[in-house]
Amino acid sequence: MDIIVLQRNATAKDLRHIVKKLEKRGFKANISKGTERTVIGVIGDTSKITEDESNAFGAMQGVENIHRITQPFRLASRDFKPSDTLIRVGKTVIGGKKIQVMAGPCAVENMQTLMNIGREVKKAGASFIRGGAFKPRTSPYSFQGLGEEGMKILAEVREKTGLPVVTEIMDPRDIDVILKYSDVIQIGARNMQNFRLLQEVGEYDKPVLLKRGLSATIKELLMAAEYIMSRGNNKVILCERGIRTFETTTRNTLDLSAVPVLKKLSHLPVIVDPSHGVGIWDLVAPMAKAAIAAGADGLMIEVHTNPEEALSDGEQSLKPANFKTLMKELRLVAKAVGRTI
């Protein structure tokens, strides 16, 4: 069901023309003549009307605007699948009662550092190791990651700690190496609308952690999930990581209301990355607790044994001791909202 609002001065001919177009496309038109405007209700399965067709209707003579009623996403919607989706990675389940914590450095730097971090976060209760081997950096002169070498280090740390690996893909040409070494493929915020990359990861039976873009609406995030799911991969984990606003005391503005909104609109699990959301290490703990209280199914937290030597994102990384304390506090909050961690 969509609504077409006509201009005040639309003619009877305009109206006929529009109705004819609708009927040709197999829809019925319900015409309401108000005192000020005429409005056409489009009856039929309007979810089949693409954005393009809808825009083209908007360009027709006499049309003021179009209100779409049907959500543009389908596979990702709770209308389509009312029950929560659980995503299994080995023995770990994302989206269930237990909150999963993914922890580790921004970038994989070398074996020793990552192994130390992996052991520390495992001991504190994390259930995934995160770390980037392919790094999207604002500057071409910044550290771009170790590439396949970094992937091997991640796999080695998984071997020793038992923690499954979450790592980012930046280029569809890297899909083979990513599939070989990782357990969850991350799509970063800057690639949320890299549609070719979404289609690529949609071709495989591998969980995808999809981060919300800096200026993406919640509906656009769900449309990006739809891209992946439309290719057959339903294992999508949504991640709120802060949006861009006018506020400058934090790196981004963490939009925690996205958590309950996403849980309402979609059946997919939702996690939160407070480290990128705020960008300052001493704000990570309160926002991690808030994320859980808001209903998140998991957290992604940056941890580094030596933030001041980190090759990336040192400012927002927790030291292992702080991470350990945080995990204890998180357990209490999780319990308060009927979850475990």
Of residues 170 through 189, those in contact with a copy of itself by CB under 8 A are 170-173
Exactly one of 120, 168, 302, 313 binds a copy of itself (CB under 8 A); which one? 313
Q: Which of 11, 110, 112, 217 binds a copy of itself (CB under 8 A)?
A: 217
Q: Produce one character per residue of 214-238: b if its CB has 16 or more CB atoms within 10 Å, e if not.
A: eebebebbbbbbbbbbeeebbbbbb
Between 19 and 60, CB nearer to a copy of itself = 60
For position 340 contacting a copy of itself by CB under 8 A, the verdict is no
Total residues at the site for a copy of itself (CB under 8 A)? 114
Q: Pattern 90-129, binding to a copy of itself, x per CB under 8 A?
A: ----------------------------------------
List all residues 6 or more positions away from 255 whose beta carbon is below 8 Å from its beta carbon: 240, 242, 243
Could you say whether residue 161 binds a copy of itself (CB under 8 A)? no
Pick the closer one to a copy of itself by CB: 36 or 205: 36
Which of 83-91, 97-105, 111-119, 237-245 is the region at the interface with a copy of itself (rule: CB under 8 A)? Answer: 237-245
Site for a copy of itself in 13-52 (CB under 8 A): 30, 32-37, 39, 41-47, 50-52
Q: Residues 282, 321, 328, 340: which binds a copy of itself (CB under 8 A)?
A: 282
Residue 322 interacts with a copy of itself (CB under 8 A)?
Answer: no
User: Does residue number 223 form part of the binding site for a copy of itself (CB under 8 A)?
Assistant: yes
